[in-house]
Amino acid sequence: MKIILTAIGSKYIHTALGLRSIRAYATAQGIETELIEDSAQTPLLSVLAEITAQEPDIVGLSVHIWNKNYVYSLIRLLRKVMPQVKIVAGGPEVSFDPQRILGECPQIDYIIMGEGEETFVKLVRALADGGEVPEHVAYRKDGRVIANCGTTVVGDLDVLEFPYPDLAEVVAAKKIVYYECTRGCPFNCSYCLSGISRNVRKRSLAKVYADLDRLIAAKVALVKFVDRTYNLDENYFLPIMQHLAQADTDATFHFEIKADLLSEKVLQFLETVPKGRFQFEIGVQTTNAPTLAAINRRDDWQKLTANVTRLLRSGNIHLHLDLIAGLPYEGVAEFENSFNDVYGLQPHMLQLGFLKVLPGTQMEQQRDEHALIYMDEPPYEILATKYINYNELRFLKVLEDVFDHTYNSGCFAHTLVYLTALEGSAFCFYTKFAQWWQARGEYPLGHNVRGVTKLLYEFVQERYAEHFAKICELLRFDVLLYQPGWKPAFLKWHTDELNEKVMAFWRDAERVRRYVPDYNFATWRQIQKNYTIEYFACDPLGDGSAYYLFVYNDEVQAIKLPDFEN
C-alpha cells in the first residue's frame, strides 16, 4: 500500500513536525510512508503532480490555519484525478468539529481527531485488512458522520520516534527545526486550542537529551521548541536547558515561556548561558485586568516585569514579547496602556498580533457576548468588537507595519528613544508616525531599511523642526551602528573633512591602543573594512560630552578629542 504524507508550510524554511512524527512512528511500526513537504507558495498543480506521480493508495494531509484553503483546494483536485484514493486529514483545523469539516470538504474520507501518530497507524492497518475504522477517526457511513470517541492524545511520548531521519538534508536546506518535549497545556486561554488537552505529557529526559544531541551533532542553526509553555516544571525544563547551555554548539534554541514563573534559581542560571544560545518568546497579550480575567489568564505583571528586566540586563538572551489587539474589554485606550506597559520594558522585539477567533475555542462561543466580528475563513482575524471598531483596528494594522519597520528592525534604537520621550509615550509617537505613513500611501507597500530611514528623516523634518538637528545626529548615529557601509547624502557626514586626522590616528598605534587594545595596523583596506570614525555634534552615548568621535568595530567607543586632534 502506497502512502503519501503531504505537508504544506507557510514558508519554505518551515518543517512539518506533526507529519514528520507520524512518518517516523509509522516506520517504526513497519508501515512505510513518503513525505512531500512544500509551502503555500508552491503552485497547486505542482504539488498535485508530485502526489499523483507516486500513484498512492492513501494521502494524508495536515490542515492548519495557514494552509486550510490551499489544502482544501488540493484535496478537491486529488478527488477529481484520483477518485479511488483514500484521503485522510488531520491537524488543528479539522480535529475538533468533523461534522462541519466534512460538510465544508466532503472529498475527505477520514479525519484523525487529535494527535495522530497512533491513530493513523491503526487506520492504515484497518484500511489494509478491511477492519473496522478505529476510535478517534471521523468518517461518513450511510450518509451520516461517525465520530468515534472524540479527540485523542498520545499518552506516552516516549513511544514516538526522532522525527528527522532526513536531518542532513534539512540542515543543508537551512530549514528551521521544530521540536517538542511536552504536549498539552494546563491553562485555558479562551482564544487558544492548546488547553483542550489539559493533561501535560513529557518525553523522558534521556530521550530528549538523545534527540537534542543528534540535532547539535548535525549542526542545526535554529531549533524552535513548540511546547506551549516550556517552563512549567522546573525539575524537568531546567535540566534540559542546562544540557543545552553546556553543549559545544553555535545553535540557537527558541522557547515559549511564561516569564512570571521563572524562579531565582532559574534566573541565576540564565545569566550564565552563552550569548545567543537561547531566545525566549513571552506572550503578555494584555496588561488590562478585566481583559485578563475574560480570557482566563492569570499573570503576575510585577513579577514578569522584574524577570524580563533582569534578563534584558544580562544581555545574553533575545526576548520577543507579544501583544494581542481586539481582545474583550480592550478598546484603543486600554490597548494603548498595554502597549506602553510592554514597550517600557524595551524587549528586543515586540509583536503586535490580532485576535484570531478559532473554531472550537471558548472565544468563538462568546462571539455574541462581545459582539465579535471576524473573518469567516482562515486566519479568522478580528475585524471589530463591542470595544473597538473596524476603523480603529484597521489603523492598528498600519501602526503594526510602522512598528515592525522601525522598532522591531533594531536599526533606530537611539532615535526612537528620543522621539518617544518627546511625545511623552511610545504609543503617541507611533500613532503620529503611522498617521503620516498612511497619509503618504506607504501602507501596505513593502519597504527596506534604507527606505524606512529616509521616511523617518522626512517625517522628523516635517513634524519636529525644533528638534531636527538633534534627531538627525541620532539618526546618523543609528545608521553608522546598524547599517554599516551606507552613508546617505541626506545626513551630513564628515568623512572627507576628517580624512587626514583619521589617517594620522590609525598610524599612531600607541594612541589607538587606548581604545582598541589589540590593534595592529595591517592595510588601509583592512582599516576601512573594520573601523569607522565619525564626528557628532550631539550626545548619542549620553555621558554629557558635547562632541564625539567614534570607533566602530562591533562596539562603539568615544574617542577623547585631544587624543584624536593632537
Grid cell locating 540: 548619542
DSSP letter (8 states) at residue 333:
H
**Alpha-carbon gap, residue 305 to 282, rounded angstroms:** 11
Residues 6+ apart with CB under 8 A from 116: 18, 22, 90
pLDDT tens for residues 462-513? 999 999 999 999 999 999 989 988 999 999 998 888 888 889 989 999 989 9
Q: How far apart are the first and last CA of the chain?
A: 83
Decide: pTM greater than 0.85. Answer: yes
Q: What is the pLDDT of residue 558?
A: 77
The answer to whether 463 touches 428, Cβ cutoff 8 Å, is no
d(C-alpha 413, C-alpha 479), whole Å: 10
Q: How far is CA 514 from CA 259, 426, 559, in A?
A: 41, 38, 9
Tell me the C-alpha distance between 439 and 6, whole Å: 44
CA 397-301-366 angle, to 5 degrees, is 55
| Residue among 143, 64, 133, 67 at smallest CA distance from 99 | 143
The neighbour count for residue 501, using CB atoms within 10 Å, is 16
Three-state DSSP state, 286: coil
DSSP code for 92: T
Residue 537's SS3 state is coil
Tens of pLDDT, residues 280-320: 999 999 999 999 999 999 999 999 999 999 999 999 999 99
- In this prediction, residues 4-15 reach a mean pLDDT of 96
Look at residue 484 in the predicted model and tell me its pLDDT. Answer: 87
Helix, strand, coil percent content, the chain, rounded in steps of 5: 45, 15, 40
Average pLDDT score over residue span 206-233: 97
* φ/ψ (deg, to 5) at 408: -70, -15
pLDDT at 335 over 90: yes
- Read off the pLDDT of residues 77-114 as tens digits, 9 standing for 90 and up: 999 999 999 999 999 999 989 999 999 999 999 999 99
Instruction: Indicate the SS3 state at residue 255.
Output: strand
What local confidence, expressed as pLDDT, does residue 475 receive?
Answer: 96
User: What is the grid cell recorded at 356?
Assistant: 484570531
| pLDDT of amino acid 545 | 62
Q: Which amino acid is at 213?
A: D
* C-alpha cell, 270: 540564565
Q: CA–CA separation, 26 vs 90, rounded Å?
A: 15
pLDDT 10s digits, 110-168: 999 999 999 999 999 999 999 999 999 999 999 899 998 889 999 999 999 999 999 99
Q: For cell 483596528, what's the residue?
A: 393
DSSP secondary structure string for all residues of 410-462: TS-HHHHHHHHHHHSSHHHHHHHHHHHHHHTT-TT----HHHHHHHHHHHHHH
Confidence of residue 199 (pLDDT cuts 50, 70, 90): confident
